[in-house]
Amino acid sequence: MVLVSGIQCKSFSILRHLSLGRPTSSMKPSVFVTRPDVPDVGINLLKERCDVELWTKNIAPPRSELLKGVTGKSALFCNIADKIDKEVFDAAGPNLKVIATMSVGYEHIDLEEAKKRDIKVGYTPDVLTYAVAELTVAILLATSRRLFEAHREIFNGGWTSWSPSWMCGPSIKGKTVGIVGFGRIGQETARLLKGFGVRQFLYSGRKDHPEASDIGAFRLPIEELLPQCDFVICTLAMSPETKHYFNEKLFNLMKPSAIFVNTSRGGVVDQDALIKALETGQIRAAGLDVMTPEPIPPDHRLLSLPNCVVIPHIGSAGIESRNDMAEVTARNILTALENKPMPAELKL
């Protein structure tokens, strides 16, 4: 059990052994932070030992500003909206020792380039697991019980009186839930859903998970899993192998009554195939916290579909989890600069 800024952080026990010493040199290392609204716990930690430069707007820095900001810096504090490639490494120069992303995903960082230059890379697994699982359950409920659709009816005159079949949607109780990508977030989502009376959990993946027996989940090949599921939840990690994993073929294997939920990455879904499945009634509905592109344009076709719930990638946006993410990111930087073991280092 760990206290992070007065908040219990059960999952990230590795924070407990960190004790950072003062730098011996009078010259502080420098850090560029790509957002101004990083929780204070992370920024204050950095300011104790580093010179910190913050980008001043709550949007991703334009390319020219990112390149200028990282020039000569010892460390970069970034997130998934910042593309960190060879050009960024070149602009930073030889002083750059560590890149720490305030995210569990790291596909936005050129890891091969970091490895070639012996630059350490940190990320924030575990501390956001519960928040994303909680959001996954929330969007599943919002989609199945048509909450966004019903809310709109209040304003467009659709709510005239109580009606027996109006705005009805399927309950989770007694249904089969399939989870594709049964890692930390997938497992935590299943644990949270157990309280809703799910009849059966199925999951697909390359290997059996020992935790599945405690949850009561059974592994099946994806082609056997999808036709059985009333709800399909995607928590796959993004990789070249999982790009457009959910395609027209897989949507065609689902029940017409199935609801699809994605809280992983937009790129794991062939979005045109999903739109077609929603428009033709191949599946009942979809709930998305992630999509392509992000931010999605207000006139995007997805947003016109009444059977699609879209929210703006807020899976980890619990106050507690964002505080923990900021602290872990800062500690990744500080420990790397002191050549100490990082709380969460990607092994390149």
Mutual angle of helices 184-193 and 129-144, in 10-degree steps = 50
3-class SS letters over the chain: CEEECCEEECCCHHHHHCCCCCCCCCCCCEEEECCCCCCHHHHHHHHHHCEEEECCCCCCCCHHHHHHHHCCCCEEEECCCCCECHHHHHHHCCCCCEEEECCCCCCCECHHHHHHCCCEEECCCCCCHHHHHHHHHHHHHHHHCCHHHHHHHHHHCCCCCCCCCCCCCCCCCCCEEEEECCCHHHHHHHHHHHHHCCCEEEEECCCCCCHHHHHCEEECCHHHHHHHCCEEEECCCCCCCCCCCECHHHHHHCCCCCEEEECCCHHHECHHHHHHHHHHCCCCEEEECCCCCCCCCCCCHHHHCCCEEECCCCCCCCHHHHHHHHHHHHHHHHHHHCCCCCCCECCC
Compute CA distances 297 → 164, 271, 294, whole Å: 36, 14, 8
Distance separating alpha carbons of residues 2 and 5, to the nearest angstrom: 10
Provide the annotated active-site residues: 313
Query: What is the chain's length?
Result: 348
